Structure 1
Amino acid sequence: MRKIVAATFLSLDGVMQAPGGPEEDTAGSFCHGGWTFHYWGDAMGELMGKLFDEPFDLLLGRRTYEIFAAHWPYAGDEDPIAKAFNATTKYVATSSDAPLTWRNSVALPDVAADVARLKKQDGPKLLIQGSSVLIQTLLRHDLIDELDLLVFPLVLGKGKRMFGEGTIPVALKLVDSKASSTGVVMSRYRRGGEIRTGSFAQAQPSEAEIARRERMAAKA
């Protein structure tokens, strides 16, 4: 069984679009590309290094694949990340017939079914980078095992978000967390089972509370 890990840069309001540069992804007239740049530091570099030290295959959405394919093959294998990305298998969620030109690339036209099949196989972890649409699809089908989130201290207001409509409610377990000197909170979450609910309300609600609940029910 292969583990699926989504390693993602997020703003405080959940935006993950174009963290690396202004030209990375301008869809929807997004104008804040490169928002992670001035927060980067040694602690984040160390964390990402550990993430890539373990064996992995990449699992990417088509747009992220195109961004990576236009950069990493040209970065030179003296760059350790380029060397790892160029050598590993790239699984790409895409319905397009356009060729995948980056070596060791495999198309996944039926995303949820294909990823579920991959997950059942033996092999290294499947590491998601970027790929907001892919992540939302996999969250809807409960296929992601671990979330490695780097949350940056800024609010972007608009842009592609990690969690969207259709995400299955689930409890998560925090297994590691630290903050960088620039205020980036780096946290690792794994599945924690179903959501457990409770109530701080009075055991015997007041007449005002009963009336409020009735009004809420009528509006539902």
Structure 2
Amino acid sequence: MRELVVSTFVTLDGVMQAPGGPGEDDSGGFTKGGWAVPFWDDAIDAFMDEFMAGPFDLVLGRTTYEIFSSYWPSATEPGAEQLNAATKYVASRGRPALGWQKAVLMEGDVGEYVAGLKQEDGPELQVHGSADLLQTLIPAGLVDRFRVLTFPLVVGPGKRLFGPGTVPAAFRLVSNAATGTGVTLTVYEPAGDPTTGSFPLE
């Protein structure tokens, strides 16, 4: 059995679109690309290095695959070796050319494909970015852990981690820390259906 782990950057209003720079993903008229950059520090680097030490494979949407494949094959910075060595399972509505080494197009129903990957022996499956793909994986109950880096700003409209049609769910806090720039580094695991209650009124 393999675990599927989502690693994502989000704003306080839940947007995960284009954290790394303008033009990274401007679909829907998004104009705030690069919102994560001013808050980046050594604590975030250390958090990222910890879970990207490998081994792992990647499950990616087409847009995130194209962003990664345009940079990482020739990169030499920390993380490049692990990303290049990983098998990349790519979801796409079309049939894009997958030139990055060890890239595989997921055929058929993506949810069923990923469920099958989880049944295999192998390293952890990591999802980075891939906002559209997550709207399939999350409602299907396929995510075993969320690593969420929450940045202290709001940007308004944009692709969200939990988009329309999200199935209600509870989560268990595994770990939590904060950086000097105000970014929270949080790990959650699914904890079944949410429960409700009421406060007693005098």
> Which residue number in structure 1 is paired with residue 77 of structure 2?
79
Cα distance in structure 2, aligned partners of 1:95 and 1:154: 32
Cα distance in structure 2, aligned partners of 1:166 and 1:30: 21
> Which residue number in structure 2 is paired with residue 60 of structure 1?
60
> Which residue number in structure 1 is paired with residue 184 of structure 2?
185
Q: Are the equivalent residues in 2 in contact too, given 1:95–1:108 (CA < 8 A)? A: no
> Which residue number in structure 2 is paired with residue 88 of structure 1?
86
The CA deviation at 1:199 is 2.1
Q: Are the equivalent residues in 2 in contact too, given 1:142–1:168 (CA < 8 A)? A: no
Over the aligned positions, Cα root-mean-square deviation in angstroms equals 1.3
The CA deviation at 1:202 is 5.5
> Which residue number in structure 1 is paired with residue 149 of structure 2?
150
Q: Are the equivalent residues in 1 in contact too, given 2:57–2:124 (CA < 8 A)? A: yes
The CA deviation at 1:125 is 0.7
Cα distance in structure 2, aligned partners of 1:158 and 1:95: 24
Q: Are the equivalent residues in 2 in contact too, given 1:151–1:184 (CA < 8 A)? A: yes
The CA deviation at 1:94 is 1.4
Q: Which has the higher helix share?
A: 1
Q: Which runs of 5+ in 2 are unaligned?
A: none
> Which residue number in structure 2 is paired with residue 16 of structure 1?
16
Cα distance in structure 2, aligned partners of 1:201 and 1:138: 38
> Which residue number in structure 2 is paired with residue 175 of structure 1?
174
Cα distance in structure 1, aligned partners of 2:93 and 2:79: 27
- Residue type at the aligned position of 2:79: I
- Residue type at the aligned position of 1:196: T
Deviations 1:73-108 (A, max 9, x none): 122xx3231111111100101131222111100111
Cα distance in structure 2, aligned partners of 1:187 and 1:98: 34
Q: Which runs of 5+ in 1 are unaligned?
A: 204-220
> Which residue number in structure 2 is paired with residue 126 of structure 1?
125
| TM-score (norm: length of structure 1) | 0.88
Determine helix, strand or coil for the equivalent of 2:138: helix
- Residue type at the aligned position of 1:200: F
| TM-score (norm: length of structure 2) | 0.95
Determine helix, strand or coil for the equivalent of 1:92: strand
The CA deviation at 1:30 is 1.1
Q: Are the equivalent residues in 2 in contact too, given 1:57–1:90 (CA < 8 A)? A: yes
> Which residue number in structure 2 is paired with residue 113 of structure 1?
112
Structure with greater Cα Rg: 1
The CA deviation at 1:201 is 5.5
Q: Are the equivalent residues in 1 in contact too, given 2:86–2:102 (CA < 8 A)? A: yes
* 1:162 and 2:161 correspond: yes
> Which residue number in structure 2 is paired with residue 196 of structure 1?
195
**How many aligned residue pairs are there?**
201
> Which residue number in structure 2 is paired with residue 6 of structure 1?
6
- Residue type at the aligned position of 2:22: P
